[in-house]
Chains A and B, each alone.
Chain A
Amino acid sequence: MSDFDMELDARGLNCPLPILRAKKSINSMTVGQVLRITATDPGSVKDFEAFCQQTGNELLATTQEGGEYQFNIRKS
């Protein structure tokens, strides 16, 4: 079983597009569901921390591998 409900590919996109797309995806989800985002912009780490702080959604995990960043965000 996967640990997320929806996936967003934000590779190759730069600020503010990854967070804008994440916001749209989260809007379409129900509370408790998890969105996984894959991004390549190093600045997205701080962006998603700030995004979750401001929106109250929960940043469950951030991982980095080979220039790609993955974020799991649970909708609150």
Chain B
Amino acid sequence: MAKRLKAAERKATILAVAKVLFSDKGYHGVSVDEIARRLGVSPAILYRHFPSKEALYEEVLNDIACKRESYVDAVVNSDGSFADMLRKITRIYIESVSKDPDYLRMEMQSALEGSDATRQFFENRWRPFTDFIEFSLKELSASNSIEPVNGQLAAMAFQGMVREALYSKCIYRSPRFRDMDLFEMSDYLIGLFFNAVGYTETGT
């Protein structure tokens, strides 16, 4: 590694290397010494940019997390319908997976860690789905646009479907979704979900 990297470049390099290690071994499986060794620098250089291993881990998570601004974008550009919003927020999540192959591994690893950073990571990742689906279905059902459906169950089912399909395709390399790209798979799952909750896209 060049000795005189600018601070921002150095920080980005540290984050990139740390991400690969954390996604492979989890928070507890990686030491600051190991990250430093991999970078070819002393641990002191790392501590100059990040006060602790946890701070570094948190920044790696934040770096790959879906940005909240993306959800604001989705709302601004949406026609406001349940179908359009669910497609858009699912796409935001899927995009983060397709852009970065380490993303899912990091999510799986982080699920086993118990820090505030990982809880935050989990919340930011899945909370928008839970609340959005649950509240929207309640409203659709109240306005008789769909038959009564348990929103909580539906929200959990949708997350379960998306997770299961992503893990099958991207982690286990199962042949099940081999012929679809991630976005086709996402549309397929959303179609299945709409069918299951009795939602039709016209006029709602």
Interface residues on chain B, number (Cβ under 8 Å) = 17
Interface size grouping (class) on chain A: 10 to 19
A69 interface residue per 8 A CB criterion: no
Residue of B nearest to A20 (CB): B75
Inter-chain contacts of A19 with B (CB < 8 A): 71-72, 75
Chain B residues whose C-beta falls within 8 Å of the C-beta of A50 in the assembled complex: 68-69, 72
Q: Is the CB of A17 within 8 A of B132?
A: yes
**Within 8 Å of chain B (Cβ to Cβ): is A11?**
no
Q: CB of A47 within 8 A of chain B?
A: yes
Q: Are B73 and A47 in contact (CB under 8 A)?
A: no
Contact B80 A16 (CB under 8 A): no
Which residues of B line the A interface, CB within 8 A?
68-69, 71-76, 78, 80, 85, 89, 127-128, 131-132, 135
* Extra pairs beyond A13-B131, A14-B127, A17-B135 (10, CB < 8 Å): A14-B128, A15-B128, A16-B89, A16-B132, A20-B78, A23-B80, A24-B80, A50-B72, A54-B73, A55-B76
